[in-house]
């Protein structure tokens, strides 16, 4: 078999190039798993920085500001710890509706305490290191806040006391059984389904707010 007419120089070059390629491929194949093993499985994500377009932040007050203090720190999910300057504001008494307060404005930094949940309106100072507050809104404590929950489970018992229908649910996630009261105010979905369709063995999602079932969704079996 002829070798495509290569002369001695060509053959030497071919051997040299072939050998070089072989070394590169072998090195790459051996090094790749080692390099891959060196890579961290997760990359820590640095928090964003507040900037000129940041006009509102929310988070938890870190440390109780001293009496007369004009600064406090808010720990936020997005920006990490943010130093806030607040010289005070006249609260406007807003945030009262539907029988409970969604928020209250505070007049000065020392009205806050460690762990308070706040929404702060304002602007970022020129060097981007801290936030100048215009208004500070205090949110209800997490436990007292109106919380929405979804409970997915199978109905294991149905009772009809005078105040509505009580369902006992076996949650899909394996947690302990829970009872839910369905009243005339509770929506039942899909459209057209009624409380009569809530039978033992039916899989449902119960949407609740403040412990009251607002909706029951019958799930496909």
Per CB under 8 A, residues contacting other proteins are 3, 6, 11-12, 14-19, 21-26, 28-30, 32-33, 36, 55-58, 78, 92, 94-98, 102-105, 119, 121, 134-135, 137, 139, 145-150, 152-153, 171-173, 187, 189, 203, 205, 207-210, 214-215, 217, 219-220
CA 89 to chain centre: 31
Work out how close the CB of 132 gets to other proteins at its nearest, in angstroms, rounded to a whole number.
15
DSSP secondary structure letters along 62-81: ESPPPTT--EEEEEETTTEE
24/159 with CB nearer other proteins: 24
Which residues sit opposite 149 in a β-bridge? 208
Work out how close the CB of 205 gets to other proteins at its nearest, in angstroms, rounded to a whole number.
5
What spatial distance separates the first Cα and last Cα of the chain, rounded to whole Å? 71
Work out how close the CB of 69 gets to other proteins at its nearest, in angstroms, rounded to a whole number.
21
125/207 with CB nearer other proteins: 207
Work out how close the CB of 73 gets to other proteins at its nearest, in angstroms, rounded to a whole number.
18
Q: Do the strands 187-189 and 212-218 form a parallel or antiparallel pair, or are they unpaired?
A: parallel
Both tokens assigned to 77: 């999910």
Q: Which residue, among 115, 116, 50, has the nearest Cα to 83 in the 3D structure? A: 50
65/122 with CB nearer other proteins: 122
């Amino acid at each position: 078999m002829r070798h495509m007419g290569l002369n001695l120089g060509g053959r030497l070059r071919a051997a040299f190039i072939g050998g070089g390629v072989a070394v590169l491929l072998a090195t790459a194949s051996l090094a790749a798993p080692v390099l891959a093993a060196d890579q961290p499985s997760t990359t820590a994500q640095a928090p964003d920085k507040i900037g000129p377009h940041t006009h509102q932040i929310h988070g938890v007050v870190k440390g109780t500001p001293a009496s007369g203090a004009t600064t406090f720190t808010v720990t936020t999910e997005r920006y990490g710890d943010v130093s806030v300057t607040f010289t005070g504001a006249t609260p406007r008494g807003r945030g009262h509706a539907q029988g409970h307060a969604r928020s209250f404005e505070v007049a000065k930094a020392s009205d806050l305490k460690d762990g308070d949940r706040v929404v702060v309106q304002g602007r970022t100072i020129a060097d981007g290191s801290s936030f100048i507050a215009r208004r500070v809104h205090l949110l209800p404590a997490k436990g007292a806040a109106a919380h929405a929950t979804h409970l997915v489970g199978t109905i294991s018992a149905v009772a009809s006391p005078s105040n509505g229908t009580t369902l006992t649910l076996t949650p899909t996630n394996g947690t302990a059984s829970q009872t839910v009261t369905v009243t005339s105010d509770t929506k039942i979905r899909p459209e057209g389904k009624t409380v009569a369709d809530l039978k033992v063995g039916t899989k449902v999602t119960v949407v609740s707010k403040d412990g009251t079932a607002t909706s029951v969704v019958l799930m496909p079996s």
